[in-house]
Amino acid sequence: DAMVALPRKPNDAVELTADIVVSYNGTSWSPNCKRETRDLLPHFAQALTHQSMASLPAIFILMLLVRSCNSDDRLRPTKPLSPGDELISSNGLFALGFFSLQGSAANTYLGIWYHNISERTYVWVANRDSPIKSSLPGKLVVSNTSDLVLSDSDGRVLWATKTNNVTTTGSGSGGGATGAGAVLLDTGNFVLRSRNGTEIWQSYDEPTDTFLPGFKLWVNYKTHVAARIVAWKGPDDPSTGEFVLSGDTSTGLQILTWRGSSLYWRAGVWNGATAASFTKSFLSQMIDDGEVAYFTYNRADDSAPARSHWKLDHTGEVMFRVWVEGSSSSWVPLFERPGKWCLVYGACGPFGYCDVKGDVRECRCLDGFEPADGGGGSSKAGCVRKEAVRCGGNNYFLTLPAMKLPDKFVYLTNRSFEECAAGCDRNCSCTGYAYTNASDILLASKCFHWTGDLVDMVKADYTSDHLYLRLAGNGDNYARTNNKINGVHVVFKIVLPLIAFLLILTCIYIFCICKPRGIHQNNGALQVHLRPSQEVWDQSLEFSRITFEDIAAATNSFHETNMLGRGGFGKVYKLAGNTARWQGSCY
């Protein structure tokens, strides 16, 4: 296999590291087929074209180089992978090689990462718990037994596949020289193949903390084994961490995250749908063949981002991320769970649920329940019934829509909805039930029963499951409560606007009607200040008509003998003549 190394500028020296050196018209290259060097081939071809369009040797050499450079995604028995070497997938998205991390530079690992992006992101590590020490450089080879073997310079095997194959020999040669080989696929899957092309091992069978499009997160619920995604121990430590993600080995209907031996997060009960659009760009699938169920996802079309993955972070977060190119290219999370607070497994306690429909995630009690600690704020304490359920007593089932179904269920198949409901109703220890029966499911129906406490529930818009909860009584109390609540809503929605309208009418009545009547009833106390050139006349006040001449006659033309004194508004006169006419009035 050859690899091209062209000078970047005229007269640049070319470092020759191979046995073959090609020189043409003063331009030299060596067979060291790195991806970044292969990208220079178009420029080299253009240079050759400008020099001589009829140069058959140049065209022949260029075709030979392109052909040889297409094999840098493969590992062959005759060519081990050493520090500094890389395998690049044919689409240029992934690279495989040796690497060290900032926090542990003394350790070297063999892994796969995204190629040619600004943020180095690893998707698989072979020897995560057996690093190569910097003083003992390692190498990866295809052995005579068709296995991949990673060893250090002392010959100590740090990691190997176990294919249980016999020694592979070729016609006329010994060892594995013409036997198995490995290739880094465009999906990021590193595949070991026998001489006849049969796949005998793949990195997808031994994932670390990440899975890519086409990967199958499988679970065999008959043998109770499952694929496991194991988080890194830390941001710069790829060794086995404390968080593990896998399918539910007892039912195959859930995806679970464990923290040690304790459940940390639960994705929810699979309702049987075979496919769902996770986003506009990606399609997720859940397949069940009656023994093995698996979850997988793929790009919906070529317009979807080329780089995406599910990742179990060292903090326990399950994330789906896509790489977005732009002025500040970066990973963008489209999904993150559980986050903080009540989405962690069992955070709201028995009969409590995490309400994520609002702006703030908070724990609430199911209808018919109240906080076990009396409202003391301890969500882990959960909730207790307001009225106990008694066998033989009256009870009914309340429908709770848009609920992530609780954990610890009994899964029953081949039941109709009526049979599922009746089975729970007959068993007084049955706390609740749920049922799914859609046209796009693989299995005809799914019936779930719960006994005892209900734990790890979520109320959210993204789920369409209905939970039927057993409560004491015949439903009348709940109906009356609902009617009372609805009545209050009616009062607030109808009566309050009516009251506001009546208040407005009252104000209009007071200012437009009541005020003049009050003035009429107390007209004797009305004070009127007159100027010589004014007349006071307002029929709506129903006063007697008083003219200026009347006042002048009553004061003897404002004679000083009738003046009582002076005030802040002028002279004050006594009225002469018929005083009854002026009774109750003051001028």
Give the number of other CB atoms < 10 A from CB of residue 530.
12
Could you tell me if residue 344 is inside a domain? no
Per-residue burial over 444-467, b if 16 or more Cβ lie within 10 Å, else e, is: ebbbbbbeebbbbbbbbeebebeb
User: 62-84 burial, b for 16+ CB within 10 Å, e for fewer?
Assistant: beebeebbebbbebbbeeebeee
Q: 251 and 183 in one domain?
A: no
Verify that 331 and 412 share a domain, yes or no.
Answer: no
Residues 426 and 412 placed together within one structural domain of the fold: yes
| Contact between 257 and 316 (Cβ < 8 Å) | yes
Is position 545 within any domain?
no
Same domain (yes/no): 190, 77: yes
Instruction: Decide if 360 is inside a domain.
Output: yes
Closest-CA residue to 242 (of 265, 223, 258, 220) = 258
Domain that holds residue 438: 352-473
**310 domain-assigned:** yes
Tell me which residue of 280, 286, 289, 287 sits closest to 267, measured CA to CA.
286
187 shares a domain with 246: no
The reply to whether 192 and 76 lie within a common domain is yes
199 shares its domain with 295? no
Could you give the CA distance from residue 29 to residue 62 in angstroms, rounded to a whole number?
A: 11
Structural domain contains residue 93? yes
The neighbouring-strand residues paired with 199 are 193
The count of C-alpha atoms lying within 13 angstroms of the C-alpha of 67, restricted to the half-sphere facing its C-beta, is: 6
3 state DSSP class of 488: helix
Pairing between strand 457-459 and 352-355? parallel
Euclidean distance between the first and the last CA atom of the chain, given in angstroms as a whole number: 123
pLDDT at 537: 35
What is the rounded distance in angstroms from the CA atom of residue 337 to the CA atom of residue 320? 10
Determine phi and psi for 550, rounding to 5 degrees. -60, -45
> Do residue 223 and residue 119 come from a single domain?
no
| Burial category of 161 from C-beta neighbours within 10 Å (exposed 0-12, middle 13-18, buried 19 and up) | buried
The answer to the question of residue 89 being in a domain is yes
Question: Do 366 and 247 reside in the same domain of the chain?
Answer: no
Cα dihedral sign for 337, 342, 346, 350?
negative
Res 377: pLDDT: 61
Tell whether 274 and 310 lie within a shared domain. Answer: yes
CATH code of the domain in which 120 resides: 2.90.10.10
The last residue of a domain, from among 439, 473, 507 = 473
Check if the beta carbon of residue 363 is closer than 8 Å to that of residue 372.
no
The CATH number of the domain holding residue 301 is: 2.90.10
Of the candidates 327, 76, 64, which has an alpha carbon nearest to the alpha carbon of residue 192?
76
pLDDT at residue number 25: 46
Taking CA atoms, 120 is separated from 112, 330, 374, in Å, by: 10, 11, 51
Tokens representing residue 569 in the block: 């508004």
Same domain, 80 and 150: yes
Per-residue pLDDT of the chain (587 residues; tens, 9 = 90+): 344 444 433 333 333 333 344 444 444 443 444 444 444 455 555 554 555 545 555 555 555 554 444 448 999 998 999 999 999 999 999 999 999 998 778 899 999 999 999 999 999 999 999 999 987 899 999 998 889 999 999 999 999 998 765 444 443 333 344 578 999 999 999 999 998 899 999 999 999 999 999 999 999 999 999 999 999 999 999 999 999 999 999 989 999 999 999 999 999 888 666 555 567 789 888 888 889 999 999 998 888 999 999 999 999 999 999 999 988 899 999 999 998 789 999 999 999 999 988 778 889 999 999 999 887 666 788 999 999 999 888 999 999 999 999 999 999 988 899 999 999 999 999 999 999 865 444 445 789 999 999 999 999 887 878 999 999 988 665 544 444 434 444 445 576 777 887 888 887 877 776 555 544 444 443 343 434 433 333 333 344 556 667 777 787 777 777 777 766 556 777 776 655 455 444 33
Domain boundary among 440, 455, 473: 473
Q: State how many domains the chain has.
A: 3
Phi/psi region, residue 188 (left: phi>0; alpha: psi -120 to 50; beta: rest), is left
In a domain, 362, yes or no: yes
- Domain for residue 263, yes or no? yes
Give residue 497's pLDDT.
Answer: 77
Instruction: Looking at the structure, tell me whether residues 85 and 99 fall in a common domain.
Output: yes
The residue among 457, 473, 489 that closes a domain is 473
